[in-house]
Structure 1
Amino acid sequence: LQASEVSPEGDISEHTFAMVTIRVVDLNNHPPTFYGENGPQNRFELTMYEHPPEGEILRGLKITVNDSDQGANAKFNLRLVGPGGIFRVVPQTVLNEAQVTIIVENSAAIDYESFKVLTFKLLAIEVNTPEKFSSTADVVIRLLDTNDNVPKFSSDYYIARIPENSPGGSNVVAVTATDPDSGLWGEIKYSIYGTGADLFLIHPSTGIIYTQPWAVLDAEVNSKYNFYVKAEDTDGKYSLAEVFITVLDVNDHSPEFNENIQEKTMIIGSPVKIEAIDQDAEEPNNIVDYSIMQADPANVFDIDQSTGEIKLKSYIRSLDIIHNITNNKDCIWSLVVQAKDRGSPSFSTTAVLKIDITEETLHKGPMAAFLMQTKDNPMKALGVLAGVMGIMVLITIMISTAMFWRNKRSNKVMPVRRIIKKRQMPPSRTVRMEWLKFKRPSNAAEKFVVEEDVKSLHNENSNNNVQVIPVPPAAPLPPPPPALAPRGDAPGWRVPTVSGSLTPKHVIKPPKKKGHSSTHNALVSELKMRFEKRNAAFGEPHI
């Protein structure tokens, strides 16, 4: 800064200088501003696929924010205004300038089927200024669809009913499924499978289930069908639902009587029963009512409408009363009975029944009653008899098998026998009778020993008790007489025993009991006779 002195004439005589400093203080006169690639911008758009991973940065958005003021006037906050919890903005506080980043927080909320376009406002507002300048920018996110949904049926199961004998191709039920995905991903194709699906078809586009052209539905054969229906999109994603179909019974069968209805035997006081079967599957089509259509005279029999039991009137208690009613002496009556179902329309069947009326047999008992009841059906009696005989044979076999195994495991029956020990026969030699008579002992019986096998005398039976049976001793037979006898000094000569086969042995004989002597003598005599026969066979002389 210069100051000069000016004379009256206008001349500058003296001057001086001074330094002046001016400081410019910033005023808060600029709001925050958003910039794009081409300068300031207040609208940003992005196209992306639905359900991006959480934490992913929206890289298609290039946003910059700036405040031209200085210092505290350039400090501001960033905030994203819109559906909450889906995105967040970084940074949240800015000084002068920053690059704006938007990050995914909730991937499930970014759903094409819920929002095809997401719109937010990006807000920048000053923090420490009294003016609180601010600015906004629109952020528009357009979503692209992905095949993220499976087809879904309107119900988890479907219940349908169709009358039997419906013509082929009849509609049964329509199933519906939806897929919210767009384009080809939303197109659905229907199919059925399962063991009960053989008689049915489904339209692949409409979901209408109908019967096969050749199918015949019969409630008496099968009244319940169960199978699965499948809804599948073009990408292979599918869902299932269950279908239950009931075939409604139609009264298309008339009652049929049993084969043995033609003739019955009735004992006075006991009813006889007729039975008819209706092949229809459901009530009331298969409920049968019985009635007597014709009888002569008509006041003899009553019939139970539900059970088919026929009995005599209560006042008929003997054959004499029946004979007073009719001249039919053989007491065989013919009735026309009817079986009628309760369906609509109703069907009926009639049959002629012959009833042979008789009094109770004199031989009372279950067998007599059974024979009377099976008089009209002999095959039934034969079947019962064969069954009883078979059971008896089976029981006998079981008892015999049990006894056999019991005896085999624990019981042994041993016979009582005597054992005579023998020696080998020496070579035959010729001796003189005179020498044998000289050498022969006075008591030949002492040369023989009869031993009883103690074990053989024990009788073991099934009770495991042992009984000792005493056996009298038996005397041996006398030896055969030799033809010649050598000299007494002949070397190497040995006189054999009486038989040459029995071992001489002295044993302590058990005391004889009374009555054993006669048995002993008989045995000795028998042995002697056997020896004599043997000697005669060999041509040897008797002693």
Structure 2
Amino acid sequence: MKKEKKTHALLFLLLLHVTLGQYDYAPYFYDNGPSSTNGNMDLFSISEDTPVGTQIYILNGTDPEGDPVRYSLTFEKGSMEYFRVDPKTGNVTLTQELDREKQDEISVLVSITDGRNKVVETVRVFVTDANDESPEFQNLPFIIDIPEDTAPGSSIYRVQAVDKDMGSGGSVTYYLQTSPFAKFTIDGHSGILRVKPGETLDYETTPTHFVTVVAKDGGGKYKGKHQVMSSTATITINVVDAQDMPPSFVGTPYFGYIYEVSVPGSEIFTVFAKDGDQGIPNPIHYSIMNGSDGVFDINSTSGCITLTTYPYLLTNELYEIKVKASEVGPNDQLLDYDVTTVTVRVVDLNNHPPTFYGENGPQSKFEVTMYEHPPAGEILRGFKITVNDSDQGANAKFKLRLVGPSRVLRVVPQTVLNEAQVTIIVEDASGIDYEKGPTLSFKLLAVEIDTPERFSATADIVINLLDTNDNIPKFTSEYYIARVAENSPGGSSVVSVTANDPDSGPWGEVKYTIYGSGSDLFAIHPTSGLIFTQPWTSLDAEVRSKYNFYVKAEDSEGKYSLAEVLSPSST
């Protein structure tokens, strides 16, 4: 019995020994270096511009017993899952875009299992740089205030831009996008902005300059190509005014007016001057230099000019006041100055219309008697006309014109200020013709020009014409045909001629006479124009068949015209 128990114990120990001798080892990853793409990815480097979907690595390991292994990747909770692995092949694929500037190292749990044993390792994957960042300006906006008397070559500001890339892609150089007439320059490495040597600033000409600065990196690879990136920023340079300009009056020339209703203390005009140094202007002090004649005063601070007396006491209609504007410096010292002229006119209210005057006072009708056909340009001296507007200045300015037969007469002057002698001149003498009408009538108008009331006045101009012997008798035909039988007795009527003279009186009376070859056989009645044969005349066609002679029509002053009489005889 004891022997059987001992034998069973030996068999148990032998079986235990055999069971304990069959070990199951865990799988493991192959060793890898930083440049290797096989292993467990520890210290693996990947460029940030690697496209999503790229196979970037192969996890590679083995199981000591030769069992098949499977792979997996795990990221910490809340972190971006950048990679995905095929569990069988170990092929690792990029699933998210990389950005070294945001995350340059990725921590990931890499595992390998043979189905029974699982090995988990924490590895670090490094993200390497690509030139994908532009330089970024710091401390924007760039606004600079500099005095206008800053010396040429002076440094006025330092621009700074940072590029988050590494190496040459992270280096920054500067330059300005400016015209050839730019007043500034920048150091390419330090970013120090300076007033260009030889250039000066002028607040009055250009109070603000806008300069564009470019920050450029040193370039680098991005997605397989060389790339240079840059950024721009605007520098606003405000030029601070310095005291280097005198004051100047604004809105010149200046004109003021005094009206008949003005009283002492009335404001006439306010001048205004400002310091030429507009950035830091000094106060202005106003004063009257001359031309006031004690009639005006000026407020030294506001520049308001006032009247010191009553208008009816003024002796001048025009005053030219010299006003001085001075800068007020420290301790109320008067510095640079400017001088201007204020022209002040004394004017009244427009309460009088123009009025025409004759020799005995106001008159609305002017009449003259004259001969017809005066020469062009002749002055009609029979008219004694004066026109007057007793207002002053613009209220007494008016125009004259004649209304009547066109271009026969013209009036001088056409524009009047206060008062003028009216002259009427012949312009077209042909229109002044007694035979066309013994009387000419016109309206003489005076109308204010620049007043809202446009007061006016009218006067009748009447011209009575006297006739002159300006016409000659005129026959109704250039020739007359007279037929008479050869057996007609003496004293027989042959033909009647007619001539007209439109003149009046004796100048229009016509007397007829005849003359010429054969006219001795005929006679004419001197007033009726009837032509007849002489009492003793005996006409014989066989002896003479045709008689041609002339008839003359003559007025009392010997003005005449001729007509031809053709007088063939007939049987």
Query: How does the TM-score come out when normalised to structure 2?
Result: 0.47
From the two aligned structures, give the one with the greater strand fraction. Answer: 2
Query: What TM-score does the superposition give when structure 1 sets the normalisation length?
Result: 0.49
Structure with bigger helix share is 1
